């Protein structure tokens, strides 16, 4: 099934459908929008017919200066069997030639009272969000001090229980068990919960609880940009864990690399507090304050000073 069809735009932006009703279920495959000024002037060599077409004051004022035959030909070439729709902006009158050509090819012709540039910007943002690459990850997403933290780990390691403790400490749950992730930009991942399990947490031995009902609307979020991944794993005494925090491990989701921290789980460790501090430390690093780096530099200075003293 296509992610977006022309009908979605009509409903989202309250567009008036003028003609071409048979084509309202045409798929929109790109977020790029075309303003066919050159095409109306007669140059169709590089006409992007698969894009949504916007006709504003500039295009239509030029169109009115054309003779009758040219008007008919230009609009017939503008309406193809793959064009998802043509929108006339600024509440301007829709040319008769456009209506006739659109009816022949079942191209939806719509009308909007918004300015062309503003409508173009809003539609582009909407389409980029809807057409963004998506995936799903098994884990929990929590907003901690403004940092979107994705908690991963094997089933039963304590992800949901940790999320519950974080919610009790005033942080906000985004998704539990399954996180739907979309890449809105080359380095921006946004996570949200599947509609079926929105605001829900599954705690073994307790069952499913509704976080919003128990803790209020301030304890949940519908979506959040993911900045940090924390992987929980059972303590392995033979594994060497990072004790300074100088080496940053990365995890790739779709095309974006995220900082990943591996936290060993064992009795007596307060995971919620550790993850909370990890989020705060991540924020500090982004602000240019790296405690591990500062410690290493001080240590190097002490060693270097000691060597000079011995000499």
Q: Say if residue 31 carries a ligand binding annotation.
A: no
Strand order in the sheet with 86-88: 16-19, 109-111, 86-88, 52-55, 33-34
CB contact set of 165 (below 8 Å; sequence gap of 6+): 271, 272
Q: Say if residue 158 carries a ligand binding annotation.
A: yes
**Active-site entry in 12, 57, 118, 138:** 138
Helix H or strand E encompassing 294:
helix 291-310
Buried residues in 253-284 as b, exposed as e (16+ CB within 10 A): beebebbbbebbbeeeeebbebbbebbebbbe
Q: Say if residue 120 carries a ligand binding annotation.
A: no
**Active-site entry in 159, 171, 199, 231:** 159
Report helix, strand or coil for 162.
helix
CB contact set of 245 (below 8 Å; sequence gap of 6+): 281, 291, 292
Catalytic, 286? Answer: no
Catalytic, 159? Answer: yes
User: Measuring CA to CA, which residue among 234, 14, 225, 232 is closest to residue 110?
Assistant: 14
Please give the Cα distance from 68 to 72 (Å, whole number): 6
**Active-site entry in 243, 247, 252, 308:** 243
Q: Say if residue 159 carries a ligand binding annotation.
A: yes
User: Measuring CA to CA, which residue among 20, 86, 28, 82 is closest to residue 59?
Assistant: 86
Catalytic, 199? Answer: no
Confirm if 149 and 225 have CB atoms less than 8 A apart.
no
Q: Say if residue 300 carries a ligand binding annotation.
A: no
Positive or negative: CA dihedral 52, 58, 60, 62: negative
**Active-site entry in 7, 72, 177, 285:** 177
Catalytic, 177? Answer: yes
Please report, in range form, the residues annotated as the binding site.
153-160, 202
Catalytic machinery residues: 138, 159, 177, 243
Please report, in range form, the residues annotated as the binding site for Mg(2+).
160, 202
Please report, in range form, the residues annotated as the binding site for ATP.
153-160
């Amino acid at each position: 099934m296509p992610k977006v069809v022309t009908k979605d735009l009509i409903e989202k932006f309250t567009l008036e459908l003028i003609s071409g009703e048979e084509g309202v279920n045409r798929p929109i495959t790109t977020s790029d929008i075309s303003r066919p000024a050159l095409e109306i002037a007669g140059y169709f060599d590089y006409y992007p017919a698969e894009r949504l077409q916007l006709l504003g004051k500039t295009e239509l004022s030029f169109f009115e200066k054309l003779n009758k035959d040219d008007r008919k030909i230009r609009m017939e070439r503008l309406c193809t069997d793959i064009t998802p729709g043509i929108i006339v902006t600024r509440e301007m009158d829709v040319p008769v030639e456009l209506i006739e050509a659109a009816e022949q090819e079942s191209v939806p012709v719509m009308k909007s009272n918004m300015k062309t540039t503003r409508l173009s910007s809003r539609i582009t943002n909407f389409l980029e969000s809807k057409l963004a690459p998506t995936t799903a990850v098994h884990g929990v997403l929590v907003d901690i001090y403004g940092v979107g933290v994705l908690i991963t780990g094997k089933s039963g390691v304590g992800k949901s229980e940790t999320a519950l403790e974080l919610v009790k400490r005033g942080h906000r749950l985004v998704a539990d068990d399954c996180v739907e992730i979309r890449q809105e930009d080359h380095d921006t991942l946004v996570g949200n919960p599947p509609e079926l399990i929105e605001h829900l947490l599954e705690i073994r031995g307790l069952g499913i609880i509704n976080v919003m009902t128990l803790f209020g609307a301030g304890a949940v979020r519908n979506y959040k940009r993911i900045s940090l991944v924390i992987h929980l794993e059972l303590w392995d005494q033979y594994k060497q864990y990072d004790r300074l925090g100088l080496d940053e491990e990365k995890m790739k989701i779709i095309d974006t690399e995220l900082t990943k921290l591996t936290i060993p789980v064992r009795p007596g460790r307060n995971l919620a507090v550790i993850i909370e501090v990890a989020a705060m430390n991540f924020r500090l690093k982004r602000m240019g304050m790296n405690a591990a780096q500062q410690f290493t530099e001080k240590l190097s200075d002490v060693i270097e000073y000691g060597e000079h003293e011995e000499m």
